[in-house]
Amino acid sequence: MSGYRRLDVRRGKPVQVTVDGEQIPAHQGETLAAALLAAGVDEFRRTRTGDPRAPLCHMGTCFECVLTVDGAPLTRACLTPVRDGMVVTREAGQS
Ligand code: FES
């Protein structure tokens, strides 16, 4: 028997988020960044020079995770809770 104890993690109600026309699973209470990373999305945007970017700080300071969410550009995914029916577009050529 190990000295480790397994945490009892309960996820919220399942919701659907659409990213560039593709549905991904998510759970209430998660941030958009967490949901995308859990779904295997590892590129959130590209810079003007074409460099791929993804979340770095997960606390709203680096702006590496910006996406267009329900038509609102430059939304920080790490600060945005998911909700059912959310429509997300990845940014290209921003900063
Ligand atoms: S990951 Fe840094 S602002 Fe979102």
Contacts of 66 (CB under 8 A, 6+ apart): 44, 45, 73, 74, 75, 76, 77, 91, 94
Does residue 6 lie within any of the structural domains? no
Say how far apart CA 75 and CA 88 lie, in whole Å: 10
Ligand 1 atom closest to 62 (CA) = 2
Does residue 63 lie within any of the structural domains? yes
Does residue 36 lie within any of the structural domains? yes
Q: What confidence tens digit (pLDDT) does each residue in 37-89 have?
A: 999 999 999 988 999 999 999 999 999 999 999 999 999 999 999 999 999 99
Q: What is the pLDDT of residue 55?
A: 97
Q: What is the pLDDT of residue 92?
A: 72
Query: Which one of 4-8, 30-34, 45-49 scores highest in mean pLDDT?
Result: 30-34
Residue 95: pLDDT band by 50, 70, 90 thresholds? low
Does residue 2 lie within any of the structural domains? no
Does residue 21 lie within any of the structural domains? yes
Average pLDDT over residues 6-30: 93
Going by alpha carbons, the residue nearest to atom 3 of ligand 1 is: 60
Residue 92 Cβ contacting ligand 1 at under 6 Å = no
Domain count of the fold of the chain: 1
